[in-house]
Structure 1
Amino acid sequence: MLKTKTSSRQAPGRFPCAQCGAVLKYAPGTTLLVCDYCGFENRIECHAGVIEEYDLQKALRQLSEPRTEAPKAQIHCNECGAGFQFEANIHAGECPFCGSPIVTTTTQSKPIQPKSLLPFRIKESEARQRFQRWIDGLWFAPNAVKKYARSESKLTGVYLPYWTFDSNTETDYTGERGDIYYVDEPVQITRNNRVVTEIRRVPKIHWTPVSGRVSRFFDDVLVGASNSLPRKILDALQPWDMEQLIPYDENYLSGFRSEFYQVDLDEGFDHAKQVMGSVIYRDIAYDIGGDHQRIHQIRTRHSATTYKHCLLPVWSAAFRYRNKSYRFVINGRTGEVQGERPYSWWKIGFAVLAALLLAAGAYYYLESTGALQHRQSGTYYSAPYYNGNRY
């Protein structure tokens, strides 16, 4: 999977129509390349095959070896004859002179090539509808932003690079288990302008030292390998139907942009370990049991760790509001929308004021009806509480 080339000129993939010879574009949700000129549907030949996992440690050793960096390739468009270069992180897009779809290999710029992908399922028209419903549902957004977003947003279909990691983990831990018990204690309170003493049940926690080991196998921990969007947006696009991955086929990229990975393999695994670590922490808390847990030390070992490099589809766009750009993306498989948005502070302030007025009104009503005094005259017991899910 790791390759090196030094050629400085690339012949891009070409997708001619079998009927008229015009350049084709992939039709989302199908296995077809549809001709914009004659309408002929050119079927993409399906290549069945197992999506292979690659040994992480072996790849990291190979990546640590010196390699010659090739100069950025000059792309030659077969349709108009123009020569040009894509942006630094792009390997599929359109010719800037004639608009023809261009797909180049990633071999020259990156030592690891994508071996699988999820094709677009959501069409641009449906993606736009999903975005409009999302922007309409932003309660605290300025009213004008919805008009700006609708009029200025142009959707671009992009295949984003991702890493996936599988790993067996074993984790040793030390900590403490907290169990709640109750004692009766005298408490002085003021009732009807008099200081009285009541016996109340008060919760206490008994801590016991513990240690142990938990094991878990992680499958397809997904890490975005693009720096074009904030990680919180990339992560929020999940879940992806990774079981539907197909072998990499550049036909599915025709008419879309596609990015090189910008997060290297080792950096991607570091982030994956953080994701795994949060799950392992929950496993430890569950293993300790009790009502509370304190975790003092964690030592995790990874074994049989493998990775995949794949491309996943998103519709991406941005809109400007008051001289600031806000980005959003739509999962090209599920239609899930995530993005940045402006806030209307006067709307937020009005909502806070309304909540305070409502709370004050409820308090006045309870006091005027004597409900608060009736509540104070009752016997009080501390309610037990459970914190087993505290991480």
Structure 2
Amino acid sequence: MPTLAKALVRRVAGTLQFPCRQCGSVLKYAPGTELLVCEHCGTENRIELRSGLIEEYDLKQALSQVVERRTKASTPSIHCNGCGAGFQFEAKNHAGECPFCGTPIVTGTDDIKPIQPKSLLPFQIDEATARQRFQRWINGLWFAPNAIKKYARSDSKLTGVYLPFWTFDSQTLSRYSGERGDVYYVQQEVQVMRNNRLVTETRQVPKIRWTPVNGQVSRFFDDVLVGASRSLPRTILDALQPWDLEALLPYDENYLSGFRSEYYQVELAEGFDLARQIMDNQIYRDICNDIGGDHQRIHQVNTHHSGSTFKHCLLPVWSAGFRYRDKSYRFVINGRTGKVQGERPYSFWKISFAVLATLLMIAAAYVYLDKSGALRNIQVQNFDIQPYHHQ
């Protein structure tokens, strides 16, 4: 049975280590549970759930109070209580394992970053499930080199990482000027072939009437998510959505034991700039709907943000990478849903064979239609309905 008391956390020189209450060995968080599990004796140590609401913080106040500091040139020195070794994490990480004995260690972020994570989503799927999702995804890639499929069948380890994210809330009011386009039809004479004769017909031709417009739209944006890591391309980070942010828990180092965790590398001000770009895309759609008509032109937009707030949270991913033809490719799996995103190479030969096969099919179809006489019938029909516009 799991130990009901909170798992013991040992604090050494500013770091957190997680020994088992039963034997003192290594504890690691078990995805999808509220347990830290001992790798040595199998004892389950229950994580005591922290109470409290997930707070939003005033953005304007934070930007005025926080002096954005550059990451220190040297990261804090870490002492492992398991083997006594001294070492340093990668500059971007604040949680991981001792490189000498594998003891999970979490460091504080206070001395490195002025804003601390206040919430997180724990891992929901374990490494075995993540690997199954990864293999299913990579085996379904079209035109992938055979080396990729071989990699999917290998036993290469996936790495569990908590990535930093910002979320932003903001009330917006946008005033705009533009034009509304309404379609109308006019009659126009055109010349066409009918029964091998050139005749004149009257047709309805669409035109657009543009009318100047001015107006305003408002929208409240809730939890606009922006990745604060530079370890992965933003397209991959964005494609991992959706995240069940309603399930965020108060920040607890116990969930980080056995996993890596990164500091934010995208500062708060830059994160809000990226969030505003996401908001602007939705505001543009709102303005088009407000203008109405069949077509819209937007000349100018002035958006005012008020009551803007933010959260800094950690979200879980399983990551993998490999090299192919001297280039690195990265894959990540959403640690909650199992959704896979990543970079992939293409096989030149597979694409070439596919193009060649398509061309051969088109050529075979052409020969068949030509011999059957169907091609001549199609050409005659197209000639009969081909319009000639009056100059």
TM over 0.5: yes
The aligned amino acid for 1:279 is: Q
Q: How does 1:91-110 map to 2 (within 5 A)?
A: 91-110=94-113
User: 8 Å contact 1:128–1:155 — kept in the other structure?
Assistant: yes
The aligned amino acid for 2:168 is: F
Q: Secondary structure at the match of 2:117?
A: coil
Q: How does 1:1-391 map to 2 (within 5 A)?
A: 10-64=13-67, 72-151=75-154, 153-190=156-193, 194-356=197-359, 358=361, 365=369, 367-368=374-375, 370-371=377-378, 373-374=380-381, 377=384
Unaligned 5+ residue runs, structure 1? Answer: 1-8, 381-391
Give the length in aligned residue pairs.
372
Q: CA deviation at 1:32?
A: 0.2
Q: CA deviation at 1:351?
A: 3.1
Q: Distance in 2 between matches of 1:182 and 1:350?
A: 48
Q: Secondary structure at the match of 1:370?
A: helix
User: 8 Å contact 1:159–1:258 — kept in the other structure?
Assistant: yes
Partner of 2:9: none
Query: 1:210–1:226: structure 2 CA closer, same or farther, 3 Å change rule?
Result: same
The aligned amino acid for 2:289 is: Y
Unaligned 5+ residue runs, structure 2? Answer: 1-11
Q: Distance in 2 between matches of 1:43 and 1:16?
A: 13
User: 8 Å contact 1:29–1:121 — kept in the other structure?
Assistant: yes
Q: Secondary structure at the match of 2:323?
A: strand
User: For structure 1, which segment, 137-146 or 99-108, has the greater mean C-alpha deviation from structure 2 after superposition?
Assistant: 137-146
Q: Distance in 2 between matches of 1:327 and 1:310?
A: 23
Q: Distance in 1 between matches of 2:328 and 2:257?
A: 28
User: For structure 1, which segment, 50-59 or 15-24, has the greater mean C-alpha deviation from structure 2 after superposition?
Assistant: 15-24
Q: CA deviation at 1:196?
A: 3.2
The aligned amino acid for 2:242 is: P
Q: CA deviation at 1:71?
A: 5.6
Q: Taking every aligned residue pair, what percent have the same amino acid on both sides? A: 71
Q: Distance in 2 between matches of 1:119 and 1:227?
A: 21
User: For structure 1, which segment, 347-356 or 27-36, has the greater mean C-alpha deviation from structure 2 after superposition?
Assistant: 347-356
Partner of 1:6: none
Q: Distance in 1 between matches of 2:257 and 2:121?
A: 14
User: 8 Å contact 1:240–1:333 — kept in the other structure?
Assistant: yes
Q: Deviations over 1:211-260 (max 9, x none)?
A: 11000000000000000000000000000000000000000000000000
User: For structure 1, which segment, 175-184 or 234-243, has the greater mean C-alpha deviation from structure 2 after superposition?
Assistant: 175-184
The aligned amino acid for 1:169 is: T
User: For structure 1, which segment, 141-150 or 279-288, has the greater mean C-alpha deviation from structure 2 after superposition?
Assistant: 141-150
What is the TM-score when the length of structure 1 is the normalising length? 0.89
User: 8 Å contact 2:68–2:267 — kept in the other structure?
Assistant: no
Query: 1:199–1:300: structure 2 CA closer, same or farther, 3 Å change rule?
Result: same
Q: Distance in 2 between matches of 1:192 and 1:358?
A: 34
Q: CA deviation at 1:200?
A: 2.0
Q: Distance in 2 between matches of 1:65 and 1:80?
A: 36
What is the TM-score when the length of structure 2 is the normalising length? 0.89
Q: CA deviation at 1:361?
A: 6.1
Q: Distance in 1 between matches of 2:162 and 2:348?
A: 36
User: For structure 1, which segment, 14-23 or 188-197, has the greater mean C-alpha deviation from structure 2 after superposition?
Assistant: 188-197
Partner of 1:383: none
Query: 1:95–1:42: structure 2 CA closer, same or farther, 3 Å change rule?
Result: same
Q: CA deviation at 1:369?
A: 7.3
Q: Deviations over 1:272-303 (max 9, x none)?
A: 00000000001111111111111110110000
Q: Distance in 2 between matches of 1:299 and 1:279?
A: 14
Q: Secondary structure at the match of 1:151?
A: coil
Q: CA deviation at 1:374?
A: 4.4
- Note the aligned Cα RMSD (angstroms): 2.4
Q: Deviations over 1:101-128 (max 9, x none)?
A: 0000111100000000000001000000
Q: Distance in 1 between matches of 2:70 and 2:333?
A: 37
User: For structure 1, which segment, 353-362 or 126-135, has the greater mean C-alpha deviation from structure 2 after superposition?
Assistant: 353-362
User: 8 Å contact 2:193–2:383 — kept in the other structure?
Assistant: no
The aligned amino acid for 1:368 is: L
